[in-house]
Structure 1
Amino acid sequence: MSSLEEVWAYREETLYPQLFGEKHNGIFVLDHDDFTSLGAENVDPRWLHLGVFEFEPTPTRNSWLYVTSGGSTPWETEPADYNPEEYSWLGSELVIEVPSQPQDQWPIKLLRRLLAYNVLLAHGQFGEDKPLLDYGGRIPIGDVIREKGAIGLRCVVLAEPKHYPATAQLASGQFDFLHAVGITDSEKDWARAHSSEALLRLLEVHGGFPVTDPRRKAVA
């Protein structure tokens, strides 16, 4: 029977290096501001162990990849109650890829914000009936993505990845990778009219998916 610590260690020390490469930096943990900036009054100390890893390019991937760690940790389930066929805690981890390593590390700030938002969703901060982040979701992010020459990616859309496994298995249950892609306000409006899936297909045709390039041209 795997403990919480063993589940955590397997994800970070075995699973992630197998999927994303051996060379990585982190973990860049969340802090109180990540939660209080979203309106949280009470921050569970356990949430401050969640964070983001930065993976360098590999021989098979040119991009820098960032992935959260903690959304699938079974914080509220005893080992005796683990069910591999169910989802582990939030049931997801967030990923984003960028062409190069930004000096201000905005991908880390972005994923920390999205993960904090998902944790607060799970704990009813925005209403008990508001669902957790999932494929097709479109989330405003404000001015997190700031680079010279950027087109203004003020939202992200969450996609099911095609170039690495979309679902992973832990002893405590499974989880999905939610691949975040930066989009403009006009692209978000276009997706509202046509669907997130249609926008992702359009972005892929024009090189805007799966890697988020702040300097790309808008597609809608």
Structure 2
Amino acid sequence: MSSMEEVWAYREETLYPQLFGDKRSGIYVLDFDVFSSLGAEDIDPAWLHLGVFEFEPTPARNSWLYVTSGGSTPWETEPDEYDPEDYSWLGSELVIEVHSQPEDQWTIKLLRRVLAFNVLLAHGRFGEDKPLLDYGDRIPMGDVIRAKGAVGLRNIVLAEPKHYPATAQLASGKFDFLHVVGITDSEKDWAKAHSSEALVRLLEVHGGFPVTDPGRKAVV
């Protein structure tokens, strides 16, 4: 029977290197400012152990990849209650890819903010009727995504990854990777009418998925 710490260690020390490579930095943990920016002042100290890893390009992947760690940690489940068929805690981790390492670390700031938002959703801070983040969700991010010559990717869409496994297994349960892609206001409005899945397919055709390029042109 695996303890929470063993589940945590397996994800970070075995699973992530297998999927994303050995060269990484982090973890860039959440802090009180991230939660307070979302209107939450009273938080569980355990949430401050969640964070983001930065993975360098590999021979098989020429992008910089950022992935959260902690959304699948069984914080609120005892080892004798683990169910491998169920989802582990929030049941997801977030991933974003970019062509080059951002100097201002906006990728880390973005994932930290979205992860904190999902934690607050899970604990009813935005109303009990609001579900956890999932594929197809579109989220406004303001000016978090920054780069010289940026077209204004002021939103993100959560997509199912195709170039690495969409679901992973831990002793405490499974979790999904939610692949984050930056989109413009016009693309968000188009997705409202045609679906997020249709937008992701269009972005893929035009080189806007799976890697987020803040300098790309809007596709609609």
TM-score (norm. length: structure 2): 1.00
Q: What is the aligned partner in structure 2 of residue 30 from structure 1?
A: 30
> Is 1:154 the equivalent of 2:154?
yes
Q: What is the aligned partner in structure 1 of residue 76 from structure 2?
A: 76
Which runs of 5 or more residues in structure 2 are unaligned? Answer: none
Q: Secondary structure at the match of 1:65?
A: strand
Shift of 1:41: 2.4
1:155-177 per-residue CA deviation (whole Å, 9 max, x = no partner) reads: 00000000000000000000000
Q: What is the aligned partner in structure 2 of residue 181 from structure 1?
A: 181
CA distance in 2, matches of 1:128, 1:110: 24
The residue identity in structure 1 corresponding to 2:117 is Y
Shift of 1:147: 1.1
CA distance in 2, matches of 1:127, 1:55: 35
CA distance in 1, matches of 2:150, 2:136: 23
Shift of 1:146: 1.4
The residue identity in structure 2 corresponding to 1:114 is V
Shift of 1:2: 0.2
1:8-157 matches, within 5 Å, as: 8-157=8-157
Q: What is the aligned partner in structure 2 of residue 172 from structure 1?
A: 172
CA distance in 1, matches of 2:34, 2:89: 19
Q: What is the aligned partner in structure 2 of residue 215 from structure 1?
A: 215
The residue identity in structure 1 corresponding to 2:109 is K
TM-score (norm. length: structure 1): 1.00
The residue identity in structure 1 corresponding to 2:149 is G
Q: Secondary structure at the match of 2:80?
A: helix
CA distance in 1, matches of 2:39, 2:122: 14
Q: Secondary structure at the match of 1:135?
A: coil
Count the aligned residue pairs: 220
Which runs of 5 or more residues in structure 1 are unaligned? Answer: none
The residue identity in structure 1 corresponding to 2:3 is S
Superposed CA RMSD in Å reads 0.4
* Identical counterparts, % of pairs: 85
Instruction: Say if 2:32 and 2:41, in contact at 8 Å, map to a contact too.
Output: no
CA distance in 1, matches of 2:73, 2:211: 26
Shift of 1:43: 1.1
Q: What is the aligned partner in structure 2 of residue 196 from structure 1?
A: 196
